[in-house]
Structure 1
Amino acid sequence: MDIYGLEPEMGHKEVGGIQAKVDKDGNYQIMEQLEIDWKYSTAVQAVDNEAFVKNIIEETFKENGLNVTFLAKPVDGIAGSGEHTHIGIALKLKNGKRINLFSSTKNHFLSTFGYASIMGILKNYEVINPFVSSTTDSLRRLKPGFEAPVCIVTSIGRSVEVPSRNRSVLIGVVRELQSPLATRFELRAPNPGTNTYIAVGALYMAMLDGIKYALENGKTEDDLLAELSKKQGDTADYLEKDRAYRSEIDVFEEYTDEQREDLYGKAPATVYENLSALEKYSEKKAVLTNGGILKDKFIESFKEAFLEKWTVEIEHRILNQYSDEIRNFKQLHHSDKALDIDLANWAKVNELRYALLKDSYSQKSLFTQIKEAVESKEYAKASDLQVIIEKKIAELRQSYSTYKKNLLDL
């Protein structure tokens, strides 16, 4: 990266990975998650650099006999791979001086432009999200839990003197007190498969909507900070009444799932559910198409392409992989040695296997139901069935593990 002028700034082992082991043939196996970043640039150049970096990584790993994946959730139960996107706005004056429009000179977390920009993203994120997380893989990573950015909420810091380190939010404010030029936003939801060109375009359109609101209504930093910090139920001029948008506490530790969803909204569970936001929130979609930057025709094309990708993936990859897995969950106990608990455990496993995969004259399996829903283009039904299937697969895996652990003779 350095040779190609990308100026890498940091690289280290991340929290993901699987414990190293030696296989039966004496080969050393290790899987690690690595994080790197490189110097900022203009929007288009930065995204060009991202594509180039992926190519460099792939070729470097290949040359050294290693495999690399950019999947968001390559292994179930192991930390996924995110791609935090940093965004900002700066002016370059005729004399060459640069001014960060997000930095405040008035003992505030952010300037008027900064507050307005992050409010624009938060208010309109439902229609930005389809461009950020457009695959089943990306949504598997975004499950409530350790540092998963599923809530439409920000953290800006408990005080102006102490920058925020809350890693449970969707978008954070990055500030360095000694370097005003460093002030920026970190969107934590993207993944290596995100089309960053489109996502960044949508983000800046939303930011412009917030800026327009602030400037046309003469809002000050104090006004905007108060609105951004509003409590659920408080009336506001721009942000929605029934939502809260700022949290300086860990949203997974301090709230139940129900409380968190009530305050900050419920994350979409499927690709269809995410893409449907473009129709559900038509007034927010208009923010993206304002000025003809992201045209309706383009958005519809994107939606159709990823809807088709979603259905093809369900039919030809997800269901096939699950079918193989289900068939491998076989009876292991011997009838003359099994105890009542073993029989009960196996009965539960078998019940789940049948519900998922096996048809009868009176009842179609979940797999058959979702195939028929996809073929008849009943996408809402297919989406609901996918959620049910994912839950039952997780339950089946846990049930089979419980069943297997209680057996002495395998």
Structure 2
Amino acid sequence: MLKDLLFKIPKDKHSVEEITSLLEKHKEIKFVSLVGIDLSGNDTDERIPVKLFLKDINTFFEGAIQTDGSSVVLPGIATINNAKLDMVADPDADWFVSYNFENIDEDTGRPVGTLRIPCFLIHEGKAVDSRHILKSSIEYFEKSLFEMLKEHPEALKDYGITVDDIEKVVATSATELEFWVKTPNDEAELEALSTSQMLQEQYWKRTKGSVRTALEQCLDLMERYGLEPEMGHKEVGGVKSSLTETGSLTHIMEQLEIDWKYSDAVQAADNDLQVRILIKEVFRANGLDVTFMAKPIDGVAGSGKHTHVGIALKLKNGKMINLFTATKNHYLSVFGYAAAMGVLKNYEVINPFVSATNDSLKRLKPGFEAPVCIVTSLGHTIEEPSRNRTVLLGLIRDLANPYSTRFELRSPNPHTNTYLCVAAIYLSMIDGIKYALMNNKTEDDLLKELSKKPGEDADYLEKDRAYRSEEDVFEYYTEAERVAYFGKAPATIYENLSAFAKYPEKLEVLKQGDVLNDKIINSYRLGVEKRWITEINNRIINHYMDEIRSFKRLHCPENALDLDVSNWMTINELRKYLMKDTYTTKSLFTRIKEASAAGDYDKVSQLQLEMDEKMKVLREIYSAYKKNLLDI
């Protein structure tokens, strides 16, 4: 059945005649959905009957479909009293067909399909969606770099070409997706998960049962969609599942990763969205629940979405040149060093577009292979590519394949808005490249500056900071040294968003080309802020309340030792401090809610840190208390 289905309409097949012919041939495709991406990365979804679409196809292609923008995340832009949005189809992207395998079309015997057409969201004549922001930032990047190459033709000398040989600049990107999969309504013991992780019992192990089936089905479907999957495997997190009497597996709790081929930046972000949808549906069909949360379980490895970026020149003779690959005895070219410096210098204002949820910052903790420092690694020697997994910006090099040189940003997570994240990266990279070309910097100059020690003067990078380390940054440096050399990582969403006001000169870098302008940035900030406050008050505190109520006294007073009594007294005091109000005192939860209602977000941020620390202590003491009891 699958071989007869249409999975994708490529960008070169988007004429009215071709679309009409394909939809008339594939009668199982019953609906069309215009897919716009708001500033939170949410995708719109609706069902327009294909008959209506074909009847008015010219309007779809040449005009716009109107919708209510108050239901998407565009605060300060699409408001209740000014909510009209126009949805304009994007013909310059692949269009995927999503199939409902639980709804079989009677006439064709095939699953009902929906053609998902990427679109832009237009408000008062201006595009305000994440896809358009990325597309515009890439257009600005490619145009700016091309103009700089015309102004500085000497930069192309080592490649043996002139600017007249260039057809276009190409910005490429790719993502790797990690996620947790489990049996619905099952909860694994934290200690079992943590122990399994420390013993590396799950990493690259063989998948079994329904997990194996779902993983293989995902890879097969990705191939059919033309996404060119490269690998699927188990990650570090998880515990061994249980075998039932019928031979099936239950109590599944595993972490997986799927990788696929790079594409141009906008298509790569579209592909990322398509893969996440596909994974959710396939695993659900196999009776398994998938979460893309960055840190679904405290104390255990979270899920990342390493994001790769590269730059190439497509020449008129068809040849491709990777601009990051060194042309001399160096780690990188001038363009590569400069791009890395642009990202590292401006990362404080990139980070709000990378980590925008409470769990995303929980993932970025020392000891879980997630970056906490603004630092890169190039390799101990030029002949030995870096394998340092503790840095923020990894350099991927293959000495046998010069086309593969690229950077890997290790901080994104599955819920990172890839469109805005990649846009911010490229806007920062062009800032570094501009510095290098306008000041005639050589590879030696840039390597020296990138490798500077704290306190050494630099023309572009900050004097008191370091930006390169070949060491394990968690083990080699103390916490105080990490903060002094590489900056202090934000601990809350409020601290992360505060970078916009704290680093105005860096924010100007993201405003180049009027792509991420003040209106867009403010709308994004408002949306993230609202989600942060709402989640704390309506989800995190409620979850903590349930957890606190589950911490009950377990010992019998007549059999208890003084240690048991002391532990319980400490536990009970913490329980009351966190959630119990009296006539004279307010609990920590109440104080957070009151600060939220008053709009005192700085105070909320401080209290959130205290709350998380108190909950951590409470869990540890309760675990010790429980383990010391014989008769439970």
| TM-score range for the pair, normalised by the shorter chain length | over 0.9
Equivalent residue for 2:386? 164
1-structure distance, mates of 2:280, 2:585: 47
Alignment of 1:253-332 (within 5 A): 253-332=475-554
Aligned-residue offset at 1:83: 0.4
Aligned-residue offset at 1:22: 5.6
1-structure distance, mates of 2:545, 2:286: 35
Counterpart amino acid of 2:344? L
Counterpart amino acid of 1:114? G
Equivalent residue for 2:236? 15
Q: Any idea what the Cα deviations from partners look like across 1:160-181, whole Å, max 9, x if unmatched?
A: 1110000000011000101111
Counterpart amino acid of 1:14? E
Is the 2:241–2:249 contact (alpha carbons within 8 Å) kept by the matching residues of 1?
Answer: no
Secondary structure of 2:290's aligned partner: coil
Counterpart amino acid of 1:122? L
Equivalent residue for 1:368? 590
Q: Any idea what the Cα deviations from partners look like across 1:85-114, whole Å, max 9, x if unmatched?
A: 000110101111101110111111000000
Equivalent residue for 2:366? 144
Q: Paired residue for 1:378, among 600, 604, 619?
A: 600
Is the 2:456–2:464 contact (alpha carbons within 8 Å) kept by the matching residues of 1?
Answer: yes
Is the 1:146–1:252 contact (alpha carbons within 8 Å) kept by the matching residues of 2?
Answer: no
Q: Any idea what the Cα deviations from partners look like across 1:93-139, whole Å, max 9, x if unmatched?
A: 11111011101111110000000000000000000000000000111
Cα distance, 1:160–1:27 mapped onto 2, change above 3 Å? closer
1-structure distance, mates of 2:233, 2:591: 45
Counterpart amino acid of 1:340? D
Is the 2:466–2:485 contact (alpha carbons within 8 Å) kept by the matching residues of 1?
Answer: yes
Aligned-residue offset at 1:23: 8.3
Equivalent residue for 1:197? 419
Aligned-residue offset at 1:18: 2.6
Aligned-residue offset at 1:362: 2.7
Is the 1:352–1:396 contact (alpha carbons within 8 Å) kept by the matching residues of 2?
Answer: yes
Equivalent residue for 2:209? none
TM-score (norm 1): 0.98
Q: Any idea what the Cα deviations from partners look like across 1:213-256, whole Å, max 9, x if unmatched?
A: 11111110000000000001111011011110000010011112
Aligned length: 410
Equivalent residue for 1:226? 448
Is the 1:143–1:150 contact (alpha carbons within 8 Å) kept by the matching residues of 2?
Answer: yes
Counterpart amino acid of 2:317? N
2-structure distance, mates of 1:18, 1:275: 36
Equivalent residue for 2:473? 251
Equivalent residue for 1:127? 349
Q: Any idea what the Cα deviations from partners look like across 1:24-68, whole Å, max 9, x if unmatched?
A: 999621111111111111000010011111111111112212211
Equivalent residue for 2:318? 96
Aligned-residue offset at 1:335: 1.1
Secondary structure of 2:291's aligned partner: coil
Give the unaligned 5+ runs of structure 1. Answer: none
Equivalent residue for 2:81? none
Equivalent residue for 1:63? 285
Aligned-residue offset at 1:386: 0.3
Residues 374-383 or 32-41, more deviating: 32-41
Counterpart amino acid of 1:107? N
Is the 2:564–2:625 contact (alpha carbons within 8 Å) kept by the matching residues of 1?
Answer: yes
Is the 2:398–2:404 contact (alpha carbons within 8 Å) kept by the matching residues of 1?
Answer: yes
Q: Paired residue for 1:83, among 305, 309, 321?
A: 305
Aligned-residue offset at 1:361: 2.8
1-structure distance, mates of 2:355, 2:596: 21
Is the 1:331–1:346 contact (alpha carbons within 8 Å) kept by the matching residues of 2?
Answer: yes
Counterpart amino acid of 2:239? I
Alignment of 1:19-58 (within 5 A): 19-21=240-242, 28-58=250-280
Is the 1:23–1:29 contact (alpha carbons within 8 Å) kept by the matching residues of 2?
Answer: no
Q: Paired residue for 1:206, among 428, 436, 460?
A: 428
2-structure distance, mates of 1:61, 1:159: 43
Equivalent residue for 1:241? 463
Is the 1:17–1:79 contact (alpha carbons within 8 Å) kept by the matching residues of 2?
Answer: no
1-structure distance, mates of 2:362, 2:268: 26
Aligned-residue offset at 1:363: 2.1
Q: Paired residue for 2:614, among 392, 400, 407?
A: 392
More strand by share: 2
Aligned-residue offset at 1:364: 1.3
Counterpart amino acid of 1:206? S
Is the 2:314–2:321 contact (alpha carbons within 8 Å) kept by the matching residues of 1?
Answer: yes
Is the 1:85–1:187 contact (alpha carbons within 8 Å) kept by the matching residues of 2?
Answer: yes
Is the 1:82–1:188 contact (alpha carbons within 8 Å) kept by the matching residues of 2?
Answer: yes
Choose 1 or 2 for highest CA Rg: 2
Is the 1:349–1:396 contact (alpha carbons within 8 Å) kept by the matching residues of 2?
Answer: yes
Is the 1:89–1:102 contact (alpha carbons within 8 Å) kept by the matching residues of 2?
Answer: yes
Is the 2:293–2:359 contact (alpha carbons within 8 Å) kept by the matching residues of 1?
Answer: yes
Counterpart amino acid of 2:240? Q
Does residue 112 of the first structure (1) align with residue 334 of the second (2)? yes
2-structure distance, mates of 1:327, 1:59: 35
Is the 2:492–2:609 contact (alpha carbons within 8 Å) kept by the matching residues of 1?
Answer: yes
Secondary structure of 1:116's aligned partner: helix
Counterpart amino acid of 1:94? K
Counterpart amino acid of 1:31? M
Counterpart amino acid of 1:197? Y
Does residue 178 of the first structure (1) align with residue 400 of the second (2)? yes
Equivalent residue for 2:167? none
Cα distance, 1:320–1:47 mapped onto 2, change above 3 Å? same
2-structure distance, mates of 1:132, 1:18: 29
Aligned-residue offset at 1:407: 1.1
Secondary structure of 2:581's aligned partner: coil
Q: Paired residue for 1:334, among 550, 556, 560?
A: 556
Residues 350-359 or 18-27, more deviating: 18-27
1-structure distance, mates of 2:244, 2:227: 38
2-structure distance, mates of 1:174, 1:219: 23
Equivalent residue for 1:351? 573
